[in-house]
Amino acid sequence: AQSVTQPDIHITVSEGASLELRCNYSYGATPYLFWYVQSPGQGLQLLLKYFSGDTLVQGIKGFEAEFKRSQSSFNLRKPSVHWSDAAEYFCAVGANQAGTALIFGKGTTLSVSS
């Protein structure tokens, strides 16, 4: 069965420090992988996605993620965190079929300290 695991429920990072959020997936075929961010009371904003090709993908707001098939991982990184990055981050896997559900991880809450 498809599943997504985000091992870290809550992470606190100092402003200006680097960030890595972990995501592991279980999927039979080549997965479509996504990272979304959700600010309090808001909808989900797409940060980046991966489906094939270069395993290092660049997204918006200075985020990047690396797909590692051998580790079934798709970790999100940012070299220097800003206070406005404080939010909930969801990793998701999509089926290789349009119009079907995204399978979300439980999310990681990012807090940024000054």
Binding interface with another protein (CB under 8 A): 32, 34, 36, 41-46, 49, 51, 90, 94, 96-102, 104-107
Give the shortest CB-104-to-another protein separation in angstroms: 4
Give the shortest CB-112-to-another protein separation in angstroms: 18
- Closer to another protein by CB, 101 or 114: give it: 101
Closest C-alpha among 97, 95, 59 to residue 75: 59
Name residue, tokens 């972990």.
Answer: 22
Give the shortest CB-51-to-another protein separation in angstroms: 5
- Closer to another protein by CB, 13 or 108: give it: 108
Q: Does residue 113 contact residue 12 with C-beta atoms inside 8 Å?
A: yes
- Closer to another protein by CB, 1 or 114: give it: 1
- Report d(CA 33, CA 76) in Å as an integer: 11
- Report d(CA 108, CA 6) in Å as an integer: 7
